[in-house]
Amino acid sequence: MIRILLYLMATLFLTQTAMAQKAGVGAWENSRNTTLEWIEDRPGLEWYYNWRPDQMWHKGGVSRTVEFVPMIHNAGDVNKSIVSTRRAKALLGFNEPDRNNGSHQAGLSVDKAIALWPKLEKRGLRLGSPATTQDETLGRGSWQQRFMAEADRRGLRVDFMAVHYYSTNGDVAAFRNWLQAVHSAYGRPIWVTEFAMIDWARPGAVTYEQNAKFAESAIAMMETLPFVERHAWFAANPYPWNGQAPRINLVDKNLNPTPVGLAFDKVLTRLGGSRVAAGTRETTPQTATRLNTAPTLSLPAVQKKRFSKETR
C-alpha cells in the first residue's frame, strides 16, 4: 500500500513539473537590454526563444534560470554558433520557410531545407521541425507535409513538430482540433512556438481583452494535451510595425504589463513554476562543449553584444 502511495505521489509530482515546464514565450531585446530580466522574473515561465541562435543578456549580468532554446532561423544561420550560458537542450528549425517576407521568414524551398537539415542534426540537440505558417502545416502538398515525407524517406531526424497557430475568433476548440490533427498527421510531440488571436488582414481588430481571454483558455487547453510538450505566446514585446500593430504584446516598451500580460502571469502563476518551487537561481555560467562544426559557447567565451533588433 505504501509503495502504491509513493508511486502515485511521484507520478503527480512529475506531472505537475512537466506541466509547469511547458510554458514559454517568444521575445526579442528592447533598447535597454532588460527583456531577459523581465523573462527571469516571470514565475512559471520555463523557457524562451528569440528567433536567433544566440541568447539575450542584460546589463546586471546573466542569472540563467529560464531555459533558452536557440533557433536556426534561415539558411544564413546554419553555420552560426549557438551562444548560451547553459548548454542548450533543444534546437528549433527554420522559421516559416514557406514564406519570404524579408528577414521575418526563412523563405526556403523544401529541397533546400532538406539539403541543409543534416547540419542541424549534427548539433546533437533535440530537433524541432521547421515551423511553417498555419495554412502550410497540414494537407497533401503543403510545405510541411512535403518536408516531413522527404525527411522520413531519407531517415532524417525530426524529434518534435514546431507549429504556429493564429485564431481569428478565439475558438479554442478549433485550436485543439487542429493540434490533434497535426499530431495524428506526423506522430510526434508538438511545440506551439507561436500562438495568439490575430486577424492578419485586420491586425488591429482584436482587442487586448480578447487576447487575454484567448491566452488563458488556450494555455489551459494545451496543458491538458499530453502530446503538446511546450507552448510559447507570440509575443512578449510590442510588435514592431509602423501604424496599427496587433494587440498581442504582454508588455509595453517600458515592460509594463498589458491586459494580455496580466492574464499570462495569472495563468502561469496558477500552473506553478518548478524553478520557483525549487528555490534555486543559477548565477554561474556553465561552459558548454562544441557540437560538431558549429559550437555552443558560453557567454564569457564571446564578446557580449547588445541585441537590439528582432531577427524574426
Share of the chain above pLDDT 70, in %: 77
Helix or strand holding residue 91 (H, E): strand 90-91
Q: Is the pLDDT of residue 185 over 60?
A: yes
Distance CA 81, CA 225 (A): 34
pLDDT band at 94 (very low <50, low <70, confident <90, very high): very high
- Nearest Cα to Cα of residue 71 among 56, 93, 87, 89: 93
The single residue listed with the C-alpha cell 500500500 is 1
Averaging pLDDT over each range in 125-134, 202-211, 286-295, which range is the top one? 125-134
CATH homologous superfamily for 21-301? Glycosidases (3.20.20.80)
- Indicate if the pLDDT at residue 176 is higher than 80: yes
Return the pLDDT at 60. 63
Instruction: Name the residue with higher pLDDT: 17 or 265.
Output: 265
Write down the domain spans for the chain: 21-301
Lowest mean pLDDT among 124-133, 157-166, 232-241: 232-241
Candidate from 1-15, 81-95, 137-151, 226-240 with smallest mean pLDDT: 1-15
Nearest to 298 by CA among 12, 3, 86: 86
Report the predicted TM-score, pTM, of the whole model to 2 decimal places: 0.82
Sign of CA dihedral 177, 183, 186, 192: positive
Q: What is the DSSP string of 29-69?
A: --TTS-HHHHHHT-TT--EEE-SSSB----TT-----SEE-
User: What are the contacts of 60-67 at 24+ separation with CB within 8 A?
Assistant: 61/283, 62/36, 62/285, 62/299, 63/281, 63/282, 63/283, 64/282, 64/283, 64/285, 65/40, 65/275, 65/280, 65/281, 65/282, 66/39, 66/40, 66/42, 66/275
Q: Which three cell numbers, joined as nine digits, stand for 110?
A: 523544401
Tens digit of pLDDT for each residue in 26-75?
A: 999 888 888 998 999 888 899 999 999 999 887 666 556 899 999 999 99
Which of 120-134, 156-170, 220-234, 267-281 shows the lowest per-residue confidence on average (mean pLDDT)? 267-281
Displacement of CA 70 from its chain's centroid (Å): 9
Average pLDDT over residues 222-230: 97
| Nearest-angstrom CA–CA distance, 107 and 28 | 21
